[in-house]
A = this chain, B = another copy of it.
Amino acid sequence: MRYNLAFIGFGSVGRALARLLLDRSHELQSERDITWRLTGVATRRLGWRVATEGFDVEALLESDRAALAAPAETDIASWLTATKAGVLFEMSSLNAHTGQPAIAHIEAALEHGAHAVTANKGPIVHGYRHLRDLAAARGKGFRFESAVMDGAPIFSLFRECLPLAHVTGFEGILNSTTNFLLEAMESGSGLEDAVRKAQAMGLAETDPAADVDGFDAAVKVAAIVSVIMDVPIGLQDVARRGIREIDATEVRAARAAGTPYKLMCRAVRAGDGVVATVAPERVAADSPFALVGGTSSVVHFHTDILPGLTITEHTPTPTTTAYGILADFIGLVSGSGRGI
């Protein structure tokens, strides 16, 4: 079956997704009976561009001019109509504190009658139940595998592979940038110097608070708790301390003592609720967390049925994130699972 695809956002993840769709188009057709064309691309700079017969994606990856030559709509609703989008890929820049404008984009897509896939965690924390219920009411899907741990399957794992398993708690390292920052501090940098290095490498956010003050980690904790533990919590419900609270001397001393600091995320069910925290912790050298460094991340789940299951993702790239989005798309249109 053929799908009209629409992208909001065409940065590193959007471009990696376009490349992946091109590279895997033969397989998509032969193994999944999926063909596609990209009928809409929207970014802040390009506006709402439409190509009813499909953009030349190679040309688009080459240069934005290919998009600028296409007609533009003035708002998302008319753009979705003009693109006849079957699936919206929401990859806009996010305000993690409000979930906007991603939530409005996803609402518009579902109202229009398209599936919505996002790489943004904000919509989960600020709008999960609303968007899930809206998708169900419209008979469409809403997926977000890449919002946490890039392309590693976390949400789909519980949805598809672990029926009836109830998560009683989890712990992990969900913000990998702090691995890099702590390692730089262990090697002699101060925090600010480490942040500059991370920014130069494209690892850290422009606003370092997302990493350094634990906001990114806390949003991911809230997302996992809201979806997998089915307890709706917000960012304010996660007790949050960032690595800004420890200085480089402490960081070096902890490493020298064999119990390095990590920005640990934790959640545990307590009655009807969940106690959720983000904080720098010294971890034992023989914990599964001590070895997770660089851009890698890890989460260890406790469930009422599997004593313990750990998922570790190693050195992701924008293609890894794009793959999570592609997997969501394939899952949605293959009709696997029960929807979410």
Q: Which residues of A contact B (CB under 8 A)?
A: 20, 24, 27-28, 31-32, 151-153, 156-157, 160-165, 286-288, 291, 296, 300, 305-317, 319-320, 323, 326-327, 330-331, 334, 336-338
Choice from B156, B161, B164, B310 contacting A24 with Cβ under 8 Å: B164
Q: Given A31-B164, A151-B305, A164-B326, output 20 extra A-B contacts at Cβ < 8 Å.
A: A20-B305, A32-B163, A152-B309, A153-B162, A156-B160, A156-B161, A160-B336, A160-B337, A161-B327, A161-B331, A163-B334, A165-B323, A305-B319, A305-B323, A306-B316, A306-B323, A308-B312, A308-B313, A308-B314, A309-B312
Q: Given the interface contacts A306-B152, A336-B337, A338-B334, does A28 sit within 8 Å of B314 by beta carbon?
A: no
Q: Given the interface contacts A160-B337, A336-B336, does A309 sit within 8 Å of B313 by beta carbon?
A: yes
A138 to chain B, nearest CB (A): 21
Choice from B162, B286, B336 contacting A327 with Cβ under 8 Å: B162
* Smallest CB gap from A319: residue in B: B305
Specify which chain B residues have a CB less than 8 angstroms from the CB of A317 in the assembled complex. 307
* Smallest CB gap from A28: residue in B: B164
Q: Given the interface contacts A307-B315, A312-B312, A315-B307, does A161 sit within 8 Å of B153 by beta carbon?
A: yes
Choice from B157, B161, B164, B310 contacting A314 with Cβ under 8 Å: B310
Choice from B31, B163, B309, B314 contacting A307 with Cβ under 8 Å: B314
Specify which chain B residues have a CB less than 8 angstroms from the CB of A31 in the assembled complex. 164
Residues A309 and B311 in contact, CB atoms below 8 Å apart: yes
Nearest 5 CB-CB pairs, A to B?
A: A308-B314, A153-B161, A160-B160, A310-B312, A156-B161
Residues A27 and B164 in contact, CB atoms below 8 Å apart: yes
Choice from B157, B286, B307 contacting A320 with Cβ under 8 Å: B307
A300 to B311, CA, bound (A): 10
A286 to B287, CA, bound (A): 11
A305 to B153, CA, bound (A): 13
* Smallest CB gap from A310: residue in B: B312
Specify which chain B residues have a CB less than 8 angstroms from the CB of A336 in the assembled complex. 160, 336-338
Residues B319 and A308 in contact, CB atoms below 8 Å apart: no
A24 to B337, CA, bound (A): 20
Specify which chain B residues have a CB less than 8 angstroms from the CB of A319 in the assembled complex. 305
Specify which chain B residues have a CB less than 8 angstroms from the CB of A310 in the assembled complex. 310-314
Residues B306 and A313 in contact, CB atoms below 8 Å apart: yes
Residues A316 and B305 in contact, CB atoms below 8 Å apart: no
- Pick 14 A–B contacts, CB within 8 A, sort by A: A153-B157, A157-B157, A160-B160, A163-B330, A288-B312, A305-B320, A307-B314, A308-B315, A309-B311, A310-B310, A310-B311, A310-B312, A310-B313, A336-B338
Specify which chain B residues have a CB less than 8 angstroms from the CB of A287 in the assembled complex. 291
Residues A163 and B309 in contact, CB atoms below 8 Å apart: no
A307 to chain B, nearest CB (A): 5
Specify which chain B residues have a CB less than 8 angstroms from the CB of A296 in the assembled complex. 308
A307 to B162, CA, bound (A): 24
Specify which chain B residues have a CB less than 8 angstroms from the CB of A160 in the assembled complex. 156, 160-161, 331, 336-337
* Smallest CB gap from A155: residue in B: B161
